[in-house]
Amino acid sequence: MSEKMKAVAIVEKKKVELINLTKPMPKSNQVLIKIKACALCTHEQRVYLGISKMPLPFIGGHEIAGKIVQIGRDVDTQKYKIGSKVAVRILYKCGSCYYCRHGKENLCVETNTLLVNEQGISGIGGLSEYVVVDTSQIWVLPDDISLEKATLAEPVACVVNSFEKGNPGLGDDVVIIGGGIMGMLHLLCAKLRGTRVIMLEPVQERRKLAHELGCDITIDPMHTDPIRAVRNLTDGRGAEVVFNTTPISAVAEQAVQLTGSMGRCIMFSSQHPDKPINISPNWLHYSETVITGAVSPSVRSFDASVNLLTKNLINPEKLISGVFDYTEAGKAFEEAIKPDTFRIIVKFD
């Protein structure tokens, strides 16, 4: 009889249950990770709310950190030791498609391969007690890092990928639209890059936190016309880099208008609903502005993210709004969907 483990499954809209799954076993080149902490990302929240339609039951969880508890027979025991803390890039990569071979594992054609092998259950499976992964998917962490903080390696890695596209330079103006967790993580990285950060965010407490985290200028877009304000700040040009972290298409259109000639406009957030926006091809022709997206982390951006966290170059601890035991996962989801929380973490002990 194979051993069992607990997992948190979304079984219907706004309802989670603990279910038993078969505890996975590591193959020769794999490690078994005891997941200690898993952050609830927007994706899981959207499935919980019934906005993202996934086959149910669904076990999400891709922002995870834990400890190595078992290693396969061919794993280098000098590098990977039982008890070591690790961050996990759980997102699947095939390693051999066009995108993987170009260092863009985040665009892997197999990326949606589901990891939960149990029959009839969908999802990537990080909201479980254990997960089996290849050693290429883990980053061994120093002992003194908290595993709650280490769950943020994945969202920070998404932001690193976004920065590879936006690539702001010293002294540039960076506009960040939205002061949720992803906007705040963009802010922390933008300040490392020596830029002036202008954040558009309607909620006052968030604007206040943004200033505490180093934001230079905040604008309430409900009361001030952001396009006029940003143009006034940039000699009429618009910003060098605009990161749009909000899912609203009208804002996406505004993001483009906030970007100056030669600038880069990054659609970081997915759009719900996905409504097309107006862009003038002539304006693109004359401005040489680049409009692009950023999705998930490549291996390279995950590596940079772990460095940012373990070397204490950014401190995102204020963005952890609560920690719940997995037996209270329902409460954790309810807290996560509140508009005033950043990341909520589910702990497995």
Task: Give the residues lining the site for Zn ion (CB under 5 A).
Answer: 41, 94, 97, 100, 108
Q: How far is the CB of 39 from Zn ion (least distance, A)?
A: 7
For Zn ion, give the closer residue by CB, 97 or 114: 97
Cβ atoms within 10 A of the Cβ of 24, count? 23
Buried-exposed string 173-189: b where 16+ CB fall within 10 A, e elsewhere? bbbbbbbbbbbbbbbbb
Q: How far is the CB of 41 from Zn ion (least distance, A)?
A: 3
For Zn ion, give the closer residue by CB, 94 or 277: 94
Q: How far is the CB of 99 from Zn ion (least distance, A)?
A: 6
Q: How far is the CB of 12 from Zn ion (least distance, A)?
A: 22
Distance CA 212, CA 58 (A): 37
Could you tell me which of 141, 116, 114 has the C-alpha nearest to residue 129? Answer: 116
Q: How far is the CB of 4 from Zn ion (least distance, A)?
A: 27
For Zn ion, give the closer residue by CB, 7 or 108: 108
Q: How far is the CB of 159 from Zn ion (least distance, A)?
A: 11
Distance CA 343, CA 328 (A): 16
SS3 assignment for the chain:
CCCEEEEEEEEECCEEEEEEEECCCCCCCEEEEEEEEEECCHHHHHHHCCCCCCCCCECCCCEEEEEEEEECCCCCCCCCCCCCEEEECCCCCCCCCHHHHCCCHHHCCCCCCCCCCCCCCECCCCCECEEEEEHHHEEECCCCCCHHHHCCHHHHHHHHHHHHHHCCCCCCEEEEECCCHHHHHHHHHHHHCCCEEEEECCCHHHHHHHHHCCCCEEECCCCCCHHHHHHHHCCCCCEEEEEECCCCHHHHHHHHHCEEEEEEEEECCCCCCCCCCCCCHHHHHHHCCEEEECCCCCHHHHHHHHHHHHCCCCCCHHHEEEEEEHHHHHHHHHHHCCCCCCEEEEECC
For Zn ion, give the closer residue by CB, 94 or 279: 94
For Zn ion, give the closer residue by CB, 157 or 229: 157
Q: How far is the CB of 125 from Zn ion (least distance, A)?
A: 14
Distance CA 242, CA 222 (A): 18
For Zn ion, give the closer residue by CB, 109 or 222: 109
For Zn ion, give the closer residue by CB, 79 or 272: 272
For Zn ion, give the closer residue by CB, 221 or 247: 247
For Zn ion, give the closer residue by CB, 60 or 238: 60
Q: How far is the CB of 242 from Zn ion (least distance, A)?
A: 21
